[in-house]
Amino acid sequence: MNKDQLIKIARAIVAKGKGILAADESSGTIKRRFDAIGVESTENNRRDYREMLFRTTSAMKNQISGVILFDETIRQNAKDGKPLVQLISESGSLPGIKVDKGTKPLPFCPGEVITEGLDGLGERLDEYRKLGAVFAKWRAVIDIDNGIPSYTALNTNAHALARYAALCQEHDIVPIVEPEVLMDGGHDIDRCYAITEWVLKTVFSDLYYQRVMLEGMVLKPNMVISGKKAEKRAGPDEVADKTLRVLKNCVPPAVSGIAFLSGGQSDEEATVHLNLINQMGPLPWPVTFSYGRALQHEPQTVWAGKAENVAAAQRAFAHRARMNGLAAQGQWKHDLEKAA
């Protein structure tokens, strides 16, 4: 493994004021998003939508350090025949790839899942590297409910994440390690804190046993936040405080950086929380974003599949990217949202 190259790429992903565009929605997920805006989920429509984002020059050059792609997207060409990967690289951003194969029910653990995709991963990583990817992503899903997560689900998913990360580094690809504690339930913020702490401590233990070089990886965690169905949801200051506290307790300073997932937060909510966390510095690592929906919801709605809406949708994307770029430096202000 080329340690220097892995460290260089990992640091570039979390460069100051920049973060990741997660454009790796599975076929099912993007169909649901397109259904919501009345657009048929065809290969060409998916290509046109993502090309629109990748051609938003100001965002791609100034705020987007890397783009996580889906298997279909990394192989696609833009309308003019240029590979989409090339569009990303020419903007100064780094192409990445989602390599997990989604979740399946975990045997003997009702309501819990395991992420699959380790079989043949080394060969797929070599292929993706030839297609232009320099980093990869694998998502483990941990749900909170009565009696779950179980020790079994947590350990199985942590082990798979660590195995994936080691394979990535062996094949000179930077791993984005994503253990997501879902915010779907009715749990309070303290339950989320306790489970997130358990998850992170287990994941970093497994990363150690799999000999993963922490300087050559990026962590993509959830924020510590109340469940969507909680009777009383914690405010932004408490979210930022408890998120930073759990990260300082669990994440070694050697890690190149932290890029949060948005996990169902609204666009502005994800920006507010990121901004507050960065205002609590100095921090042991760069802290930025790896947002999918929180970067794309507004431009997707504005675009609505119509060519005449492309410029307006690109302005919406550029605005959200800029807001999150400022939040990654603790410089976001609510007035900037109003002005836009």
pLDDT for 240: 98
pLDDT for 110: 97
**Catalytic choice (180, 220, 242, 298):** 220
The C-alpha atoms of residue 215 and residue 64 are separated, in whole angstroms, by 21
**Catalytic choice (51, 112, 178, 197):** 178
Q: What is the mean pLDDT of each run of 10 residues along the chain (340 residues)?
A: 96 98 95 96 97 98 98 97 98 98 98 98 98 98 97 98 98 98 95 98 98 98 96 96 98 98 94 98 96 96 96 97 98 88
SS (H, E, C) 11-64: HHHCCCCCEEEEECCCHHHHHHHHHHCCCCCCHHHHHHHHHHHHCCHHHHHHCE
The C-alpha atoms of residue 297 and residue 271 are separated, in whole angstroms, by 13
Closest CA to 87 of 100, 71, 74, 103: 74
Q: Which residues, 6 or more positions from 208, have their beta carbon under 8 angstroms from its beta carbon?
A: none
333 is catalytic: no
Instruction: Write out the residue range of the structural domain in which residue 162 sits.
Output: 3-339
231 is catalytic: no
Task: Provide the β-strand partners of residue 135.
Answer: 96, 174
Report helix, strand or coil for 310: helix
User: And the tokens for 94?
Assistant: 């780094």
In this structure, what CATH number is given to the domain that contains residue 11? 3.20.20.70
pLDDT for 326: 98
- 173-189: per-residue pLDDT in tens? 999 999 999 999 999 99
pLDDT for 340: 65
Asked if the peptide bond before residue 95 counts as cis, ω within 30 degrees of 0, the response is no
Report helix, strand or coil for 254: coil
Report helix, strand or coil for 319: helix
The number of folded domains in the chain is: 1
pLDDT for 135: 98
Task: Provide the β-strand partners of residue 140.
Answer: 179
Supply the pTM of this predicted model.
0.97
